Chain A
Amino acid sequence: MTDLIRSAIELVLGPFDALLSAVPLQHARWFALALLLIPALATLRASREFVFRGAPDQKPWRDLRIWVWVVILPYVLIYALAP
């Protein structure tokens, strides 16, 4: 029974594992950068009302879309330049 379960799991996970093994290591950088940039780009679609909701005023420094880019920039540089 255990062998059967293991074979079934290997049947499903195997092709995915082979796919990941075929990805050159230097391409890992692009996956990491995508993981950082996709959610950051999505925040640009947030409305002004959503971003400032609950804030005492609407001064530019309270715009959380700006915060996102200030915060993420060092991370992007690290993952773009790291060996």
Chain B
Amino acid sequence: MAGGGQMGLGALDTSIVLAYLVGILFVGWWTSRRVKSSTDFFLAGRALPFWAIGMSIVVSDIGATDFIAVAGGTYAYGLAQANFDWLGSMPALLIAAFVIVPFYWRSKVMTVPQYLGRRYGTEVQTFLAVSWGLILLLNLGIMIHATAVLLRGVLGWDPLVSIWVTTIIVGLYTISGGLAAVVMTDVVQLIIMFVGGGILLARAMAEVGGLGSLREQIVAQGPAYADHFSLYLPHDTTTPFPWSGIVLGLGIVLSTAYYTGNQAMVQRTLGARSEWDAKAGVLTAAFLKLFIPLLVALPGLAAIIIIPGLENGDEAVPNLIRLLLPAGLRGIMLAAFLAALMSSVDSNLNSASTLWTNDVVGKLKARWGTPLDEQAGLRWGRMISAILLLLGALVAPQIELRFSNIYNAIQTSFSLIQGPTLAILILGIAWKRANRWGALAGLTGGVLFSVTLNSSAMAGLFSSNEPFLFIAWWSFVLALGLTVAVSLATPKGEPPRESIGEPDSAEETTA
């Protein structure tokens, strides 16, 4: 099946891809032998070392669509796109490592909604669990769909074949091995991604004569390319990346919400073997993120010189592969794409399953007087993983028909919920006076404000064509204010200290 195709794969390339797939299944099978309980399944038995956590966070964040879309964005807008991996990661990961993750780890929760439920009550937990559960499920469908599109583009595979091949391979190791299998396969996948991306970068840089030469050639293209090497774009730019939006919306709100409130990112740290490993794992991720723009954005800049005049920047990377990589290296690059795709699919699946099992089924079963024990949790977790994966595979072909609508809906959902979630999370940790009424008001008010700002009636309110960074910032500010105001206006309510992972003394945390 993979022997020919549009990318011109030879026998060596096919062997490399097959070896990768067999290797991943072996690692998944090897890890799954130790899964005996729900804690093993959802939290890898709380035995993950820091290096695996760090590598898994990065590779779960970067999908093959990022390889293509970030390079495409850089082709169109320039290096400002790299802010998403640099300024949009480092400060947030520092806050995660030193402020938020220690609270999560000490409270021994399995999910972020569970933590916020202990802090604010069942209503907040249910709202967030259902919202994130649905978002992760739809995201799963989008990622499986993206796999099909990519394999159709580079290999000429039928999309339905790609969808079911991906579903079966990811399903085999994720359903049997849980988080441990996901993280350990992520480690292998990150290495392959870095090798593949590194090869493409090296070939592209050699082609354009190095970074200095690339800059000179791009600037010489004319005024439209004057800002292509700038990280800072004016506040009134029509691109999605004004410096003010990057600092306020991305650097303060979206990235912090993503790395501290997104179950798919947080779950690895909850499975750490110690609090030190959890914190060190997040810092390892911060270090590795430094290299992502080099691997995915710089090839996009080089493509401006190598393949000028592309109508769609997303075509840059597939064209670079076709033009620059010889047989053998194309196989490694395809394996890198598959690694990026599968690592994001497995992480979303495992996290969505954790949310539905723990925060929805677990709560309902407890209410009916039959709470989930470790064995029942494992059975439910595997069953729900299988159901979600099946649903994702069934949703994926529909995305082909309505891709832009559904994709935009997902991106919008993310931007609607992240600012308000971050606001109540920060206040929940930093301010004891915050209570459930304040959190409910902040969450619903913040989401409603995001919806309002996203509506067509507010078009032109911001100079940017895609003002999601400013919408995230203002919904965060409003949610923060509402939570404080309503908490102060309603009776104080405090959960037990031990349930929310507070440190033994205030001296232990940063100021």
Residues of A that sit less than 8 Å from B by CB = 2, 5-6, 9-10, 13, 17, 20-21, 23, 25, 28-29, 31-32, 35-36, 38-40, 42-43, 45-47, 49-50, 52-56, 62, 64, 67-68, 70-72, 74-75, 78-79, 82-83
Contact = CB atoms under 8 A, between A and B. Distances in A.
Contacts of A39: 91, 94-95, 98
Contact of A53 (B457, B461, B508): B508
Contacts of B86: 75, 78-79
Contacts of A79: 86-87, 231
A33 to B, nearest CB: 10
A32 B90 CA distance: 11
Contacts of B279: 64
B290 interface: yes
Interface string B484-511: 0000000000000000000100011111
6 contacts: A25-B232, A39-B94, A45-B510, A53-B276, A68-B94, A75-B90
Contacts of A52: 276
Contact of B247 (A13, A28, A83): A28
A71 to B, nearest CB: 5
Contact of A35 (B87, B234, B452): B87
Contact of B510 (A28, A42, A53): A42
Contacts, number: 126
B444 interface: no
A35 B247 contact: yes
A32 to B, nearest CB: 6
B277 interface: yes
Contact of B457 (A6, A68, A74): A6
B290 A50 contact: no
A61 B443 CA distance: 41
Q: Is the interface of B mostly helix, strand, loop or mixed?
A: helix
B230 A83 contact: yes
A53 B283 contact: no
A69 B149 CA distance: 41
B247 A2 contact: no
Given A2-B457, A35-B91, A68-B283, A50 B235 contact: no
B126 interface: no
Contacts of A42: 98, 510-511
Nearest to A22: B235
Given A46-B510, A54-B275, A71 B90 contact: yes
A82 B246 CA distance: 15
Contacts of A55: 274, 276
Contacts of B280: 62, 64, 67
B316 to A, nearest CB: 22
Contacts of A36: 87, 90-91
A74 B288 CA distance: 11
Contacts of A49: 507-508
A16 B103 CA distance: 34
